[in-house]
C-alpha cells in the first residue's frame, strides 16, 4: 500500500515541510567512515593480499590469487556472442548515440595575442582512468557505456574497469558493453577495496589517475577519502526524479515514470509537482493500481513511502521555482510548450522536455550522459562528460617588449605583497638582466 507524502505550496509550513522531507535522504556515513579507512589502509599496505581477503569476505568469491580477478578480452568477446541479437543491437545503438553526443563536448585548445603576449590553453586527456560499475542486485551495462565512451572520445589511453561480482559470476551484457566501450582491462572486484586498488595500484590492478562511476555508500566514501590521491567525478547519491506535470499529462505515463526511478533503490526519490490537484489524484490511483504488478514492487513501495512526494502548486512558474530549490538529478517537464520554460530552469542534472521525453531515454540511449549530480549538487555540479577526462594547461609566451611591459607592473605588485624574489625575477626582464 502506497502512502506518499503530500504537501501544498500555499501552506504556511511548506518550506519547512519540504526541506525536512528532502533532507531525510542525506545519508550519514560516519558509521562506515572508519571501516572504509581501514580497508583503504590495508589495500595500500598489503596490496593483492588484501584484495584476495576482501573478495572472499564481501563477494563470497573464493580466489587464491589476485590474478583470478581479471577478465580477459577473450571472455568479453565470448560474452558478446552469448547475448541476443536484440541486446547487441541495443548496445550498439546506445554506443553510437553516446559517442555522437560526446564528440560535440570535446574541448579544443585556443590562444590569442594581446600587447605582444600570447595566452591560451593546451588540452590534454587524462592518461589512465578507473571505471567503477555498480552491480550486485542489478547489472548496469548502460553505466559501462556512459563512462567509457566519453573517456575514449576525450583521448584516455587506458581504462581499467572494476565491478562487484558475487561468487565471481559476471553478467554477459556488462562484459559486452565493456568490449564495445573500449575498456582495456576488467576486474571482478567491487567495494571500497576496489576503489583503493585503483587509487594506489597493486601487483595486479594498475594505478589510475582518476576514478569515475557510481557505487554503494562504501564506494562513495572511499572516493571521498581518496580524492587527492586520484581525481574523481563526483560524490554520487541515490537516484532521483522530479516531474512537473500539467492537466495535459497522461497519468499512466507519469506513474510509470515515477516508478522507474523508485525501483533503482530504496533511497531513490520520486517527486511529482502539479497545479492540477485532479492530476495528482489520478496519478496516485494509477500507482496504487499498478504497484502489485511491478517486478521490483518492494523496492518501489519502500522508496515512495519513505521519500516520494506530491506537491500541489499555484502554477507552473511556482513548480519551477520549487524545482530550482531542490535541484533534482532528473527534471521531467510533462507540460504543454515545455521549451518556453527552459530558460527559467537553473538547477537540474538533466532536463527532459515534453511528454514524449521520459527520463528512461536518458538512462539508456538518447545519447546524453546518465551520470548526473544528485542530492542537490546540481546547484554547482554538471553531468559527466568528455570535459571531465580532459585537463587544461595555461600557455603564456612573452616577447622581449611585452616582458618589459609586464615586468613594470609585476614588480609593483610583488613589492606590495612583500615577495621580493618575485620582484627581482620580474626586474631582470625589465632592465636587460640587471636588478634595480
Question: Quick one: angle between helices 172-181 and 85-103, nearest 10?
Answer: 40
Burial of 25 (C-beta count, 10 Å sphere; 0-12/13-18/19+): middle
Residue 409 annotated in active site: no
Question: Measured between alpha carbons, how far is residue 232 from residues 70, 147, 229, 365, 385 in Å?
Answer: 23, 12, 10, 24, 13
State the catalytic residue, choosing from 225, 240, 251, 329.
Answer: 329
Assess contact for 376 and 270: CB atoms under 8 A: no
- Cell 547475448: give the residue: 83
**Distance from C-alpha of 206 to C-alpha of 427, rounded to nearest angstrom:** 47
- 390 backbone dihedrals φ, ψ, rounded to 5°: -120, 140
Residue 330 annotated in active site: yes
**Distance from C-alpha of 213 to C-alpha of 141, rounded to nearest angstrom:** 12
State the catalytic residue, choosing from 330, 355, 359, 370.
Answer: 330
407-421 burial: b if 16+ Cβ within 10 Å, else e: beebbeebeeeeeee
Q: In this structure, what C-alpha cell is assigned to residue 287?
A: 500507482
Write the DSSP string, 177-207.
HHHHHT--EEE---SHHHHHHHHH--SSSPP
Asked whether the CA dihedral 136, 377, 334, 252 is positive or negative, the reply is positive
Burial of 229 (C-beta count, 10 Å sphere; 0-12/13-18/19+): middle
- Cα angle: 227, vertex 368, 124; to 5 degrees: 50
Q: Which residues are catalytic?
A: 329-330
Amino acid at each position: 500500500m502506497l502512502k506518499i507524502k503530500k504537501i501544498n505550496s500555499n501552506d504556511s509550513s511548506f518550506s519547512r515541510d519540504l526541506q525536512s522531507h528532502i533532507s531525510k535522504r542525506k545519508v550519514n556515513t560516519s558509521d562506515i567512515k572508519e571501516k572504509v579507512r581501514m580497508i583503504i589502509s590495508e589495500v595500500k599496505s598489503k596490496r593483492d593480499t588484501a584484495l584476495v581477503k576482501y573478495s572472499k569476505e564481501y563477494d563470497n568469491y573464493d580466489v587464491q590469487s589476485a590474478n583470478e580477478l581479471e577478465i580477459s578480452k577473450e571472455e568479453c568477446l565470448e560474452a558478446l556472442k552469448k547475448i541476443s541479437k536484440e541486446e547487441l543491437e541495443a548496445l550498439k545503438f546506445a554506443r553510437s548515440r553516446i559517442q555522437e553526443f560526446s564528440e560535440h563536448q570535446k574541448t579544443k585548445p585556443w590562444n590569442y595575442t594581446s600587447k605582444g603576449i600570447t595566452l591560451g590553453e593546451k588540452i590534454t586527456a587524462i592518461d589512465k582512468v578507473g571505471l567503477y560499475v555498480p552491480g550486485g542486485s542489478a547489472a548496469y551495462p548502460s553505466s559501462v557505456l556512459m563512462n567509457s565512451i566519453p573517456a575514449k572520445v576525450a583521448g584516455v589511453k587506458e581504462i581499467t574497469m572494476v565491478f562487484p561480482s558475487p561468487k565471481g559470476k559476471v553478467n554477459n551484457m556488462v562484459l559486452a558493453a565493456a568490449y564495445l566501450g573500449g575498456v582495456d582491462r576488467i576486474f571482478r572486484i567491487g567495494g571500497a577495496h576496489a576503489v583503493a586498488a585503483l587509487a594506489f595500484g597493486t601487483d595486479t590492478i594498475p594505478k589510475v589517475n582518476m576514478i569515475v562511476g557510481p557505487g554503494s555508500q562504501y564506494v562513495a566514501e572511499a572516493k571521498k577519502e581518496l580524492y587527492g590521491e586520484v581525481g574523481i567525478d563526483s560524490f554520487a547519491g541515490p537516484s532521483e526524479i522530479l516531474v512537473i506535470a500539467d492537466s495535459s499529462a497522461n497519468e499512466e505515463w507519469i506513474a510509470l515514470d515515477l516508478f522507474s526511478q523508485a525501483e533503482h533503490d530504496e533511497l531513490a526519490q520520486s517527486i511529482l509537482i502539479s497545479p492540477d490537484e485532479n492530476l495528482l489524484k489520478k496519478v496516485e490511483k494509477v500507482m496504487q493500481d499498478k504497484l502489485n504488478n511491478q517486478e521490483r514492487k518492494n523496492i518501489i513501495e519502500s522508496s515512495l513511502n519513505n521519500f516520494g512526494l506530491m506537491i500541489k502548486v499555484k502554477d507552473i512558474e511556482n513548480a519551477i521555482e520549487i524545482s530550482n530549490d531542490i535541484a533534482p538529478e532528473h527534471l521531467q517537464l510533462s507540460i504543454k510548450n515545455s521549451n518556453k520554460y527552459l530558460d527559467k530552469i537553473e538547477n537540474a542534472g538533466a532536463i527532459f522536455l515534453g511528454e514524449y521525453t521520459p527520463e528512461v531515454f536518458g538512462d539508456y540511449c538518447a545519447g546524453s550522459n546518465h551520470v548526473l549530480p544528485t542530492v542537490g549538487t546540481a546547484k554547482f555540479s554538471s553531468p559527466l562528460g568528455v570535459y571531465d577526462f580532459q585537463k587544461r594547461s595555461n600557455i603564456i609566451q612573452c616577447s622581449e617588449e611585452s616582458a618589459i611591459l609586464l615586468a613594470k607592473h609585476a614588480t609593483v605588485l610583488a613589492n606590495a605583497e612583500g615577495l621580493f624574489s618575485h620582484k627581482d625575477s620580474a626586474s631582470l626582464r625589465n632592465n636587460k638582466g640587471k636588478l634595480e
